[in-house]
């Protein structure tokens, strides 16, 4: 059943839903961390998501992929959904508990200097250890890239992800090239013209300039950490050479009243967000991935008062 925007404001399944933990704010998004983000193009904020919420999202990913953490033979499929480990799952209740976590909101709120935000209904990533005997799982290429043509934006644009498990540098960690970000920011980047090759799927750094492994910084952090990066930072994830998979949930927040601050590729107005939430569908930009189930077959996620505002069901 499809609900109208007005009906959605009243339905039972979105009555106030108390989360027992994590009501504290992120007090430690310090000036120092903001400065680190300014200087390097990324920052790690630890202890944002509770261990239980992380493991619930991991469980959701494992159930969807039919993967058992204790049985490595289930980590590799004859026909993987895609070669980069993207998991086309968006509306699982566990994902919503992460998105409406007050600490996560607080971090983005402080970062953007704005209280009225909306949250992306983003997907996840599962990257098992490399297996060179299996074609799709032995790819050591390093697809460092930019996602959005940041030249079109007048203000900083932030992307984000949560490490759902402890992630070390060898474990397919989020990786980036801060030196390129720094040159772009300083106006000294010599390959600006090559950015004209930007297309809707982004741009690989290797198509713009040569670079070496030594230029890449891999970012390790404990489970529950939020990594935020500036869209000007070339980034990607390195191959996993650890014995455990890497689990990530992608998430970002944007100013509710300011569409200009959102990349055009992922823009969702308030009605679209409410509709996707209510109908359990992926945002339009993330539809039609192989293996996607549409609509997603879970119970309607329960939202807190904060969650309802982040979706757009209630006004700020």
**Single residue of 41, 236, 263, 312 touching ligand AKG by CB under 6 A:** 236
Pick between residue 51 and residue 143 the one whose CB is nearest to Fe ion.
143
Which does residue 174 bind out of Fe ion, ligand AKG, none, counting CB within 5 to 8 angstroms by kind?
ligand AKG
**Single residue of 61, 237, 266, 303 touching ligand AKG by CB under 6 A:** 237
Residues 78-137 that bind ligand AKG (CB under 6 A): 125
Regarding 50 and contact with Fe ion (CB under 5 A), the answer is no
Task: Give 31's DSSP letter.
Answer: H
Cα separation, 164 vs 51, in Å, equals: 8
The mark string for 177-216 relative to ligand AKG (x by CB under 6 A, - otherwise) is: ----------------------------------------
- Backbone angles phi and psi of 131, in degrees to 5: -130, 105
Pick between residue 215 and residue 305 the one whose CB is nearest to ligand AKG.
215
Residues 147-186 that bind Fe ion (CB under 5 A): 147
Residues 136-175 that bind ligand AKG (CB under 6 A): 147, 159, 161, 174
Strand partners, 204: 145
Sole window of 112-120, 163-171, 182-190, 233-241 interacting with ligand AKG (rule: CB under 6 A): 233-241
Pick between residue 50 and residue 147 the one whose CB is nearest to Fe ion.
147
288 phi-psi bin (left φ>0, alpha ψ -120 to 50, beta other): left
Nearest-CB residue for Fe ion: 147
CB atoms near residue 309 (< 10 Å):
21
Strand partners, 53: none
Pick between residue 147 and residue 275 the one whose CB is nearest to ligand AKG.
147
**Six-digit token string for 100:** 């409406």
C-alpha to C-alpha distances, 222 to 27, 127, 226, nearest whole angstrom: 18, 17, 9
Alpha helices in 126-269 (DSSP H): 178-186
Task: Identify whether the C-beta of residue 104 lies closer than 8 Å to the C-beta of residue 257.
Answer: no
- Backbone angles phi and psi of 235, in degrees to 5: -155, 175
The site for ligand AKG (CB under 6 A) is made up of 125, 147, 159, 161, 174, 235-237, 248, 250
Residues that bind Fe ion (CB under 5 A): 147
């Amino acid at each position: 059943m499809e609900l109208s925007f007005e009906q959605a404001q009243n339905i039972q399944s979105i009555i106030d839903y108390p989360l027992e933990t994590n009501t504290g704010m992120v007090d430690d998004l310090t000036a120092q961390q903001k400065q680190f983000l300014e200087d390097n193009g990324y920052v790690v904020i630890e202890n944002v998501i509770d261990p239980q919420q992380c493991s619930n999202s991991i469980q959701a990913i494992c159930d969807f992929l039919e993967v058992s953490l204790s049985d490595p033979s289930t980590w590799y499929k004859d026909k993987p959904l895609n070669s980069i480990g993207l998991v086309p799952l968006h509306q699982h209740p566990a994902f919503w508990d992460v998105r409406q976590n007050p600490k996560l909101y607080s971090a983005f709120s402080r970062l953007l200097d704005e209280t009225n935000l909306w949250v992306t209904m983003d997907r996840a990533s599962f990257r098992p250890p490399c297996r060179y005997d299996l074609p799709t799982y032995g790819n050591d290429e390093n697809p460092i890239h930019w996602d959005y043509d940041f030249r079109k934006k007048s203000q900083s644009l932030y992307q984000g992800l949560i490490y759902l498990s402890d992630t070390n540098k060898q474990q397919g960690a989020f990786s980036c090239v801060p030196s390129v970000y720094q040159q772009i920011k300083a106006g000294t980047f010599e390959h600006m013209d090559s950015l004209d090759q930007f297309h809707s799927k982004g741009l690989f750094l290797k198509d713009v300039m040569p670079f070496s492994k030594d230029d890449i910084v891999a970012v390790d952090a404990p489970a529950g950490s939020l990594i935020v990066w500036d869209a000007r930072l070339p980034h990607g994830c390195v191959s996993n050479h650890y014995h455990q998979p890497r689990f990530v949930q992608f998430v970002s927040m944007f100013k509710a009243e300011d569409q200009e601050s959102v990349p055009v590729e992922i823009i969702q107005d308030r009605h679209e967000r409410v509709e996707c939430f209510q109908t359990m569908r992926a945002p339009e930009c993330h539809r039609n991935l192989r293996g996607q189930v549409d609509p997603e077959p879970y119970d309607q996620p329960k939202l807190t008062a904060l969650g309802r505002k982040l979706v757009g069901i209630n006004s700020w």
